Amino acid sequence: MGDDGVGPAVVDELRRRGTSERAQLIDAGLAFSEVLCDIEPNKPLVIIDAVRGGGEPGAVYRLSLSDLTADTGSMVQAVSLHEVSVVPALRMEALGGREFADVTIFGVEPGPIAWGLGLSDPVEEAKQRVVQQLLRYVDEPAARAVDAACGSQNR
């Protein structure tokens, strides 16, 4: 579906770069609620999706779950094309005692949404920016652990 495929495209790129050795990567597609049982709620959850936020195609939004559920705020109009499944699915998990406390959403403003198209140029560029941000995000805990170990050896 054109630019709506940005989430799976990011996951594919992260897999290609070997990130799946450091993070669990799941392409949930349209079945987000079906894969939640495979995700540990005490670990950070990052969702990548096409999000209509009113910006130019390729704009990247970094949102928390509260940004999509708050009654006020500049990003409250940002609506994931699959929000109908993401936010209610997380709420249902919380009602069952599995609350995801650390949820980050990387939304990319889509351009064309049509059958059979790849990503538009602006969304392809945004995909690369999101991949870079996620590589830093995934490596951040490991980098802190190395820094702590090196710091303790130097004392």
DSSP-based three-state secondary structure for 114: coil
More confident residue, 75 or 23: 23
Domain with 10 in it: what CATH number? 3.40.50.1450
Name the pTM for this structure. Answer: 0.76
Domain with 81 in it: 2-153
Do residues 11 and 67 touch, judged by C-beta distance below 8 A? no
Over residues 4-62, the pLDDT tens digits come to 889 999 999 999 988 877 788 888 776 777 778 888 888 888 888 888 888 999 999 98
Q: What long-range pairs does 114-119 form, CB within 8 A, spacing at least 24? A: 114/1, 114/2, 115/1, 115/2, 117/1, 117/2, 117/3, 118/2, 118/5, 119/2, 119/3, 119/5, 119/6, 119/9
DSSP state of 108: E
Please state the domain count of the chain. 1
Span 145-150, mean pLDDT?
A: 50
